Amino acid sequence: MTIDELRERVRELLADHDPATTDRLEFLRARYDAGLAWVHYPVGHGGLGLDQSWHSEVERLLAEAGAPDNNPRAIGIGLGMAAPTILAFGTEDQKQRFLRPLWTGEEVWCQLFSEPGAGSDLAALATRAVPDGDGWRVNGQKVWTSSAHTARFAILVARTDPDVPKHRGLTYFLCDMTDPGVDVRPLRQITGEAEFNEVFLTDVWIPDTQRLGDVGQGWAVANATLNNERVAIGGREAPREGGMAGVVADVWRDRPELRTPALHDRLLSLWVESEVARLTGARLRQKLAQGQPGPEGAAMKLTFARLNQELSGLEVELLGEEGLRYESDRGWTMVRPDEVDFTGRDAGYRYLRAKGNSIEGGTSEILRNIVAERVLGLPGEHRVDKDVPWKEIPR
């Protein structure tokens, strides 16, 4: 297919489903069925098997026509983590069942990975899944679960064999969050909001048809998810001056009285670093589209967290007393947002929320280890529990 043929396919979609008169969900479903959801995905799964770089042209044409999007901020975990993992490891039935409603936003997804005793050391997780008829009975606790209060499904890693070393006894599941035994409780953050949750799983039954990958293959499947997550967080597509770099640059342009030579030097340095990160992210997304998410995503996510924190701090400094204001119209009442609107909020919120960037999606300390060992080839840390059965490891 040529780029002109792709544009013609977009025009046909718009002719058959006028955005001005077509129901939003009906339009999104039609877009998926036309292969225009994510053009680099396979035919039959919302794509056309094309280069990912062509996707921006589809987005441009649809935006110009006033077509609705799928609200990617609200379904980012599904788009950036669940979908590529299901595509890589799922059966054909699983792909047909889950990918379409995931992309249209009909079914929101969350991630049940971290636990109170297994955050940075994810492979130490203790949530157990034991065989039960044609499925698995799951018990345990997960934490730091974004969007669990709005999610229909979750990607879940549980321990199915405690008699082998921790990395080898894990299995990956797709968990229905509406099932009996799933208890979601809010975790209030420094922002006053509760976008995170802790999730308790009590005798939750998951059919074996919702197991992703082989039994015991959970660590390999989870790593594919995590590699995609790091690129989704740190290497997401953005225009020049997208994200915090643009926010701070706009403050600089609009408020000349705030400028000093020292602040100018800091802003210019961070702007250049942000542009380098943006272009590097474009290269990584091309690699991801070819099914090769690698450890380089750890470096992107690490850079994203640092830049977001430094830029949000610079914005607060630029604004002085104004930067200390924190949305007085909302107060400090706990709310449970459906999505994280980082750039659409005030400077006080951005400064506080950015503190979580170096924790979510893998802590910066762990990401530095990944970059050191898997990108730079430095020797790894000594791990005394690597070959010890999980049940024998002190906890």
**283 three-class SS:** helix
Report H helices in 174-324. Answer: 218-234, 244-254, 261-289, 296-319
Catalytic residue among 193, 229, 310, 315: 229
Q: Are 104 and 69 in contact (CB under 8 A)?
A: no
CA 291 → CA 12, 271, 286, 312, distances in Å? 29, 30, 9, 33
**Positions of E strands within the chain:** 109-112, 128-132, 135-142, 153-159, 170-176, 182-187, 196-207, 211-212
Alpha-carbon gap, residue 175 to 35, rounded angstroms: 27
| Two tokens, residue 21 | 């008169």
| Two tokens, residue 48 | 């056309």
Verify whether residue 229 is a known catalytic residue.
yes
Nearest to 38 by CA among 75, 89, 93: 75
| Two tokens, residue 44 | 């039959």
Kindly tell me the burial class for residue 109, based on how many C-beta atoms sit within 10 Å of its own C-beta (0-12, 13-18, 19 or more). buried
Q: Are 357 and 305 in contact (CB under 8 A)?
A: yes
Catalytic residues: 229
